Chain A
């Protein structure tokens, strides 16, 4: 009796398990595929530099370290991405340009470079 009651329940349980597995597998696919891809973009906004870190597929990186280097490759600032995938820091000491590295962990990092010319032209653009 017990055996006949158990059998259909096990079958349904298996079906649920397979469906749940497929849902999680499909939902997890983009994360797995793009996990190691990070892209960085930075621009001048007012007196600040805004940094944006994105994962593959356009998702914003929710956490990550931000390292700012000058033209001599000297680390001049260290900050972190906010949960919206951006970081801001005051624009100063940019005469030799800025290299902005975003590290989201496990060796996955990328960078964006702002040359002095980029910064000057963006500042000029803002004045217009």
Chain B
């Protein structure tokens, strides 16, 4: 009887003490199998080293960093203050471009040195390839000199493509596609980052559209022929001279401007940077105001690509205010 009692009593006791362990084991196994079945977050799976990416201008650096985040290591070796469109890297730097995982080029004849070296085609990404058919061809090439890059001519295709923010978004899309092709497991991460960037660019695009729509035929003068895509996208009525912000225009340049003004009575001149005070004052005396719309080809002194473009858009508003027309 005692024995039976022992068996009866010990049974449930054993059962009671063993059950939690067994259940816990099953629960862990179940939870693990469910976890394995669920689609993993790409960031949690990715354990590779960042992609080494070399770019030829600052807008592409900004796009690449926004899209790639910590998954890319973006290098833009052009020294500050130079115009990357005409800058030529030294041989060691070209060697570094050759060793990168990806080389992002602007296309549209930007950074002509790219055609004078052997860069691996498999690594090259022409970010403006998708809109090659809509490149703007410069009809009149004028050779001039400024900065450390020496003499150059604006000829062939106009290259400041990103000043049309819709084209900028297309270039960013090319960056996203290239990253996803290189790191397929991070595709959704890149897509999300691109979507956020596209939203920012297109919001600004609409803002500029709205500003210009108040008076699209308003004549403007550009101090340098770099606003072709900008002008086409937003329907601006721009004529260009070849002035540099940090230089005092020559007598011939003033004469040229006066000739343009006869048929194009502009009250505003758009500059790439803050104009020389004496040039700005003389323009003011002629009834021409100055505004800065920085193409941002190189790393800005302050802020980033988007903040510079926002500032540009704000500056542009002054030219379209009714009382100043």
Which residue numbers of A lie inside 8 Å of B, CB to CB? 40, 71, 73, 96-99, 107, 110-118
Contacts and interface: CB of A to CB of B under 8 A. Distances in A.
Contacts of A111: 116
B95 A97 contact: yes
Contacts of B94: 97, 113, 115
B91 A112 contact: no
Contacts of B118: 114-115, 118
Given A71-B90, A112-B117, A116-B91, 19 more contacts: A40-B116, A71-B91, A71-B92, A96-B92, A97-B94, A99-B91, A107-B151, A110-B116, A111-B116, A112-B116, A113-B94, A113-B113, A115-B95, A115-B98, A115-B117, A115-B118, A116-B95, A117-B99, A118-B98
Interface in B60-101: 90-92, 94-95, 98-99
Interface residues of B, number: 12
Interface in B213-259: none
A113 B89 CA distance: 10
A113 B91 CA distance: 7
A109 to B, nearest CB: 11
Contacts of A112: 116-117
Interface in B89-133: 90-92, 94-95, 98-99, 113, 116-118
Contacts of B113: 113
A98 B90 CA distance: 10
Given A115-B98, A117-B98, A96 B116 contact: no
A114 B117 CA distance: 7
Interface in B278-296: none
A113 B119 CA distance: 11
A112 B94 CA distance: 12
